[in-house]
Amino acid sequence: MIDNSLITYQEELLRQTPRAFHRYMYDRIKWDARMFGLVGPRGVGKSTLMLQHLAQSPECGQSLYVSADSLYLATHTLVELADEFVKYGGVRLYIDEVHKYKNWSRELKQIYDTHAKLKVAFTGSSILDIIDGEADLSRRAPIYNMQGLSFREYLALFHHIDLPVYSLEQILAHQTDIYAHLEHPLPLFKQYLQDGYYPFSAEPDFALRLEQIVRQTIESDIAQYADLKASTARKLIQLMGVISSIAPMKPNAESLSQEIGVSKNNIPDYLVYLEKAGMIGLLRDSTGGLRGLGKVEKVYIDNPSLMTVLAYGRPDIGNLRETFFYNQMRVNNPVLASRVSDFTIGGYTFEVGGRKKGNKQIEGLSNGIVVKDDIEYGFLNIVPLWAFGLNY
């Protein structure tokens, strides 16, 4: 029989799980796949998404949700749990925070190969490397990467304003029909920039919790993934502090290495670790081709809310605007550095600024777009900044 403590744990979580609002990834996941993973930064709602699906699945009575760091798995293996679960008619197994279980990749592969009718979903840190793990899961388990709330999702979750997703083309054609639901978007947009990226932002001590997430991500997730010593993890925290004070910035390995006291040869790896963990964003040029591994032109703090907390509530507004645009558009679009302006997406060049921003840097470009903050309406090639938060 399945241990009763696991059932009790699941039922307690289900009672606390909100049902009305689903993150954007809910409808993108192929829930009937034999196995899949959902990864992303801490705090963006991966566990809640899994619990929502469990609660609303017609197979809820044949499903089990377990955290990979549960006491049960301290004395049992995932394989043993799956074997027992299937024996008693289990159909769906949800494993939360799988990266906290030592042999996760090898045992998931064994479960996949042994139980053809069992559907397995797992969540994990975005730092996980599914392909290069002990067992290659890439051919067996598609991996979905979930980011934090878009401005559109923030409006739905916290203000009950339901808007559709708008494509980039619709945004540029001024087809974002928000005014039937919200007469003036700017006040709520300013609030979103401050703390709207994380679903837990309405909870007390939001800033303190976010600071703890940064520390846990670096000291636990990255350190475990890269097998880092405690002293090296502290260097990463230092690096994060340096970046937060000057981002967006063009990375200079020599100066960064001097700031934190490490070899400059380590800086590129450290930046990639922080990017994968959802702490920073790396804007690359177009030289990477399909692999998207071009030269890094700028380093950003990952999202506006994180940037605001790290700046003690006083971020540079120009940097905040760029961070928002890059953060929101990268989910559905290949965002690259522009040689003449801020960003390129497809055949478009984007210049991001405030209400008084002019056309100078994109003058003469056939598809140049001026993205302006502090305006409600767009016209011709001028598009309000907030509109780009409706893309997912």
305-333 pLDDT, tens per residue?
Answer: 999 999 999 999 999 999 999 999 999 99
Query: What pLDDT is attached to residue 92?
Result: 97
Task: Give 228-271 pLDDT, tens digit per residue.
Answer: 888 899 999 999 999 998 889 999 999 999 999 999 999 999 99
Cβ count near 348 (within 10 Å)? 19
Residue 290's pLDDT band (cuts 50, 70, 90):
very low
> Which token pair is 366?
């056939």
Residue range 63-84: mean pLDDT, rounded: 95
Q: 96 with 47: CB under 8 angstroms?
A: yes
Sequence-separated (6 or more) residues with CB below 8 Å from residue 177: none
Cα distances (angstroms) measured from residue 144 to each of 133, 154, 283? 17, 21, 21
For the purposes of burial, counting CB atoms within 10 Å of the CB of 169, is it exposed (0-12), middle (13-18) or buried (19 or more)?
Answer: exposed
Q: How far apart are CA 207 and CA 204, in angstroms?
A: 9
Query: What pLDDT is attached to residue 66?
Result: 96
Query: What pLDDT is attached to residue 129?
Result: 61
Kindly tell me if the per-residue pLDDT of 283 is higher than 90.
Answer: yes
364: left (phi over 0), alpha (psi -120 to 50) or beta: left
For the purposes of burial, counting CB atoms within 10 Å of the CB of 266, is it exposed (0-12), middle (13-18) or buried (19 or more)?
Answer: middle
Query: What pLDDT is attached to residue 359?
Result: 73
Kindly tell me if the per-residue pLDDT of 98 is higher than 50.
Answer: yes
Residue 288's pLDDT band (cuts 50, 70, 90):
low
